[in-house]
Structure 1
Amino acid sequence: MKVTVKKFKSGERYVFLLEEDGVPDFWVTHFVTQKLRMTKAATSIEQYLKDIKHLKRWEKINDRDLLDEIYNGKVPNRDDINKLKEHCSYQAKAVNDAPVNNVVDMGQFHLSKTQDKPTISKSQYISRIAHIAEFLHFIGKERVKHKPTAAELFDELDEMKTRLKSGKPKGKSKKVSLDKSGIADDVFEDFVEVAKPDSNYNPFKNPVVKFRNYLIVQVLYETGFRCAELLALRISDIGTETDNPTLSVVRRHDSKDDPRLKEPTAKTLGRAVSITKELRDLLNTYIKVHRADTKVAKTHPFIFVSHKDKEGHYQSGQPIIQQTINDIFNSIKAVNLERFWAITPHSYRHYFNDQLSDTIDEEREAVKQEVKRLEQAGLHEEAKQYANENTITDQRELELRAELNGHSSLKSGEIYLKRTARKQAQKIRKKMQAKMKHKVEGDHHGS
């Protein structure tokens, strides 16, 4: 089975799960059409189908067909659910889908490379289970809704969904993820320095590619955009105000103008983000000089394009894809892997929010000092009014963060406070160490 994306004439990207014979799976297609198509982007639907494919792999290994079983009145029981949960904790590449005996001991899974049973992250697991539960629950009800026992089966399907989404997978190994939240500011700055076209350490050879790659890094550095937002930038998204240059994120799903099958779409709300005049001018230079030098670029409105000497699958002038940005970052990281190992395109979004936190703290301190000055001058009412009008409260900080990041929920900004908290904790710890009475002394080697 494989997940594939087709682009319709309307511009809509439709995602299919194809059977071995190349025919779309009927019930999966029904699920996409009835449940996902109107509310989910193609990229989100694709992830749903990858997770459902993982379910299908479990069915093949165990010689099961859960939807047929549900139709015949047998809803997955607690034991089925526990085994399915364990299966969902494994990476897709770790499980060989060759069928074995009728009943499978999940501890004896055939693994593709290792017996260590590599697992996915907690967030991936939760998402995978939720997608599978939603699919089985919705299609299960679709299949039995005309049966005399429909009401009873509906209750069992509700219970199945609750059990699937509750608790942790049995036997799921603990996977320790590397925490990248403590990246020092100067590491981010040095990464941008290496990306500059005139840097002696810049790993790229083609001058045009050097220039384009630097602009990509600089845009992420200045705006905190997600990669999909950067990939979807159009020439018209560059603000025209001379003294207030901006780049705008605009939600344009199922665009006819985008030749890419995997259309990059904005996950967050649309917004205009201020950029420096220097970046605005360099973007215009890139568009007018280098982008305009490619024929294909004239057929679409996207800013960043590929630059190849020979025509091919990604011939010169086509809008770049996610892999292009990944390759750019990996090449720059290789210049000093020990220093840059934790840098990713998305980490600049965290960096942007960390700088926002610092700036907000500076604003708060400036307001505090002005209030103090007014009070010392005996202007108590003025001080109170100034504080009321200018103090950035915690609520106001989340509102500012939501505005700049395009979040629809204020809670979405809370994740970006982690880096700031980590840095503050490190500063406090260093102050604690400076006050320690007993410190390492002398040159002791146990002799």
Structure 2
Amino acid sequence: MTFSIKSYIAKSGERFSLLFSADEPGIPLFYPSAFLSRRLRENNTHQTQLVGLDAIRRLCEWERDRGLCLEDRLLRGELLSNYQIDDLAAHVMVSRNNKRGESISAAKFNGYWHYITAYICWLTDELLPNRNNKDMRLLVNDQEKNLKNKNLKRTGSKARKNQLLLEEKLSEKARDKLLNIFSSPFQGVVGTENRATRLRSVLMLRILYETGMRRGELLSLKLKSFVEASGSESAFLIIERNHSDEYDRRVNQPVAKTLGRSVAISESLEAQLIEYRTNYRSEVPNIGFNDHDFIFCVHRRGKTQGNPLSINGFNSTFLYFRNLFPDLGNALHPHAFRHDWNYRFSLLADSKGLSEEKEAESRETLMGWNPGSDMAKVYNKRHRKAQAMQIGREIARDTERPQK
């Protein structure tokens, strides 16, 4: 028996997913669906709900492999033994990427285990007879404690992780190549039919580079999101919080994880966006021209032509583009643009003599972070690190002073 997760879009635009078994493919599993509806749906995004369902799917696979049913056990008044909890944790730890013996990371395990623990505790309170009996309550509390004790200690310190984040940026070679591609987007293109997808690819990367926005925010940009220059105001892009967007028919909806905001773009990028919208996007069959239609769409012929570009479509395009230009490096990934933007922002803030407070405020606004964001503090450490290095160099130069 296998288990599958299927995703749907409600008329309101809300995304939701359900867990099915192969035995009854047309009927979702009752208790996982009830848990999702009563505990996860209200305060969690669809992506978070999917992680929770994937965790419960692993629990269902364990039940299948061990020939037991947790629901039946609880109805008989039986809780999980310590051995079963250990065995379940070992099952969840195994990677599903077909490499025998390979384990998932501690962070990923803890993410799954959080939802498995929550589900088992919820199911226990739903089904266990005499659950409010004093002695039974002690056993229930012991089960919850034993489940929570299986959480793994994360490897590596948070400080080291933040330090690596602080130092991540594009190489000079990759940055030079990107700037060259941005200025000459059609280099190496053979055939006019390939110009549209090339310009679309270049524009997506250039927006990531110039604004530091996330991939989900990029794919959520609509025609109304692009505001051309007018009078003394330069062109900019509007990023909106878009969870459960009724106009977005992508089941796996790209979403903005940060706050809504407006971000400025260069005159050259503005001109390229106008060129793409006017000369290339407008020629795609089945394309929409209303304000709520998305800027970046599928150009390839087929049943999805004209649809908004999906996350998988973007990932495929990104990998193809990176392979096409090997000078960009194999380590280049979409989120690297966000790190590099923050690196370049720090350099500019230093050159303008911004105070730490002003630098943090500007960074939070442009990145869509809440005031006092921990991420802004992490990136602002670059300023203090640079100052410390300068002082260290001056102290080190004491050895260069001539002997008297």
Instruction: Give TM-score scaled by structure 1 length.
Output: 0.73
**How many angstroms apart in 2 are the aligned matches of 1:202 and 1:134?**
53
Query: What CA RMSD, in Å, does the superposition of the two structures yield over aligned residues?
Result: 3.4
Paired residue for 2:362, among 396, 400, 416?
400
Aligned to 2:5: 3
* Residue 141 (structure 2) aligns with: 155
How big is the shift at 1:232?
0.6
Give, in angstroms, the shift of residue 217 of structure 1. 0.7
Q: Which runs of 5+ in 1 are unaligned?
A: 95-113, 170-177, 365-390, 438-447
Indicate the residue corresponding to 1:302 in structure 2. Answer: 294
* Cα separation, 2, equivalents of 1:137 and 1:397: 45
Cα distance change of structure 1 residues 288 and 143 upon mapping to structure 2, 3 Å threshold? farther
Relative to structure 1, the CA distance from residue 64 to residue 185 in structure 2 (aligned partners, 3 Å threshold; closer, same or farther) is: farther
Q: Which amino acid aligns with 1:266?
A: A
**Which consecutive residues of structure 2, in runs of 5 or more, have no partner in the other structure?**
156-163, 400-404
- Tell me which residue corresponds to 1:184: 171
Cα deviation, residue 133, structure 1? 1.9
Match of 2:261 in 1: 271
The reply on whether 1:229 has 2:233 as its aligned counterpart is no
The aligned runs of 1:357-372 (5 Å cut-off) are 357-364=346-353
Please name the residue that 2:127 is paired with. Answer: 143
Q: 1:348 aligns with which of 337, 351, 372?
A: 337
- Structure 1 window deviating more from structure 2 (69-78 vs 7-16): it is 69-78
Q: Which amino acid aligns with 2:345?
A: L
Report the equivalent of 1:17.
19
| 1:337 Cα deviation from its structure 2 partner | 4.2
Mapped partners of 1:326, 1:236: distance in 2: 24
In structure 2, distance between residues paired with 1:355 and 1:143 = 56
Q: Does structure 1 conserve the Cα–Cα contact (< 8 Å) formed by 2:117 and 2:144?
A: no
Q: CA deviation at 1:231?
A: 0.7
| Length, aligned pairs only | 374
Higher relative contact order (CA 8 A, sep 6+): 2
Shift of 1:360: 2.0
User: Residues 89 and 192 from structure 1, CA distance in 2 versus in 1: closer, same or farther, beyond 3 angstroms?
Assistant: farther
Query: Which residue of the other structure, out of 28, 32, 35, is the alignment partner of 2:32?
Result: 28
Paired residue type of 1:290: Y
Aligned to 2:107: 123
Tell me, yes or no, if structure 1 residue 311 matches structure 2 residue 302.
Answer: yes
Amino-acid identity (%): 23
1:249–1:270 contact (8 Å) kept in structure 2: yes
In structure 2, what is the equivalent of residue 164 of structure 1? 150
> Structure 2 CA distance, aligned partners of 1:226 and 1:203?
31
**Structure 1 position 285, deviation (Å):** 2.5
Contact 1:249 1:272 in 2 (8 A): yes
Counterpart secondary structure, 2:227: coil
Shift in Å at residue 196 of structure 1? 5.6
Does the 8 A contact of 2:173 with 2:327 survive in 1?
Answer: no
CA offset at residue 153 of structure 1? Answer: 5.0
Secondary structure of 2:237's counterpart equals strand
Matches within 5 A, 1:193-342: 193-194=180-181, 198=185, 200=187, 206-242=194-230, 243-298=233-288, 301-308=293-300, 310-312=301-303, 314-315=304-305, 317-337=306-326, 340-342=329-331
Structure 2: which amino acid aligns with 1:5?
S
Contact 1:401 1:413 in 2 (8 A): yes
Shift in alpha-carbon separation, 1:195–1:128, aligned structure 2, 3 A:
farther
Name whichever of 329-338 and 214-223 sits farther off. Answer: 329-338
Q: Aligned partners of 1:135 and 1:286: how far apart in 2?
A: 48
For 1:80 and 1:206, the matched residues in 2 are separated by: 57
Query: What's 1:92 paired with?
Result: 96
Local SS of the residue matching 2:150: helix
